[in-house]
Amino acid sequence: LITLAFWTLNIPASCTVGYVKKGQPVMHPKKVVMHYLQTWFLIDMLVLLPEWASEFASGFNAESTDDTSSMRLARALRLFRVMR
């Protein structure tokens, strides 16, 4: 649950981090948010929504684990993003 909370809070945090375009840093808030929404937001949602659904379905039970292949793939995609 701690990891899920961390990645959930990472979404608004990602909207505050600039990016580089044509070798120049871009820090304008509206452009940063739009860039995030057009790049990683959908992937973040595809990873986090099933995780949150799993947590709600299990009733936030710490002993319940649901490591289906789709969840593993979602986590792997998230890890790839972090390593990038």
DSSP letter (8 states) at residue 17: S
Confidence of residue 71 (pLDDT cuts 50, 70, 90): low
pLDDT for residue 2? 84
Strands (E), the chain: 19-21, 24-26
pTM, rounded to two decimals: 0.63
Instruction: Select from 1, 6, 2, 7 the least CA-distant residue to 48.
Output: 7
Residue whose tokens read 């319940």: 64
Cα-Cα-Cα-Cα dihedral sign, residues 30, 15, 52, 81: positive
43: tokens are 């992937």
> Chain-centre distance of CA 27, in angstroms?
21
Tokens linked to 37: 């929404």
- Mean pLDDT value across the chain: 83
